[in-house]
């Protein structure tokens, strides 16, 4: 679907409904495309499996920053108020 800026202003609900249906709406100004409205992009990235990363690093002999802690333990320590205070100072808390 294509519409001018003027049409898009006047018929925004129609353009939004088209995007909800999966259509891409091209908005033009003086006949040239300036914007697109469409469904949200789906991320193809999977969340990071930190434990799998640790296993791969260990198998390859790559040292890890966790110093023997599991990923969960390391994140808990890294996010601790004591660590934050030590790194950034007491006023950062």
pLDDT of residue 63: 67
Under the banding of pLDDT at 50, 70 and 90, the label for residue 92 is low
Residues 6+ apart with CB under 8 A from 80: none
66 vs 11, more confident: 11
**Per-residue pLDDT for 62 more than 60?**
yes
> Highest mean pLDDT range out of 25-29, 56-60, 68-72, 76-80?
25-29
Tell the burial category of 36 from Cβ atoms under 10 Å away from its Cβ (0-12, 13-18, 19+): exposed
Distances in Å between the Cα of 1 and the Cα atoms of 15, 20, 35, 43 are: 8, 13, 12, 24
Q: What is the pLDDT of residues 20-55, one digit of tens each?
A: 999 999 999 999 999 999 988 876 778 888 788 878
Distance CA 15, CA 1 (A): 8
pTM score? 0.45
User: CA angle 87-47-51, nearest 5°?
Assistant: 70
Distance CA 26, CA 59 (A): 50
pLDDT of residue 53: 82
Domain parsing of the chain, residue ranges: 2-37, 50-92
């Amino acid at each position: 679907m294509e519409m001018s800026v003027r049409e898009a202003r006047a018929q925004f609900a129609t353009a939004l409904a088209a995007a909800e249906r999966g259509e891409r709406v091209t908005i033009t100004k003086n006949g040239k495309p300036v914007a697109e409205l469409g469904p949200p992009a789906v991320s193809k990235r999977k969340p990071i499996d930190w434990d799998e990363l640790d296993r791969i690093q260990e198998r390859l002999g790559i040292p890890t920053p966790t110093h023997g802690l599991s990923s969960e333990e390391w994140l808990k320590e890294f996010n601790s108020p004591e660590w934050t205070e030590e790194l950034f100072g007491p006023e950062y808390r």
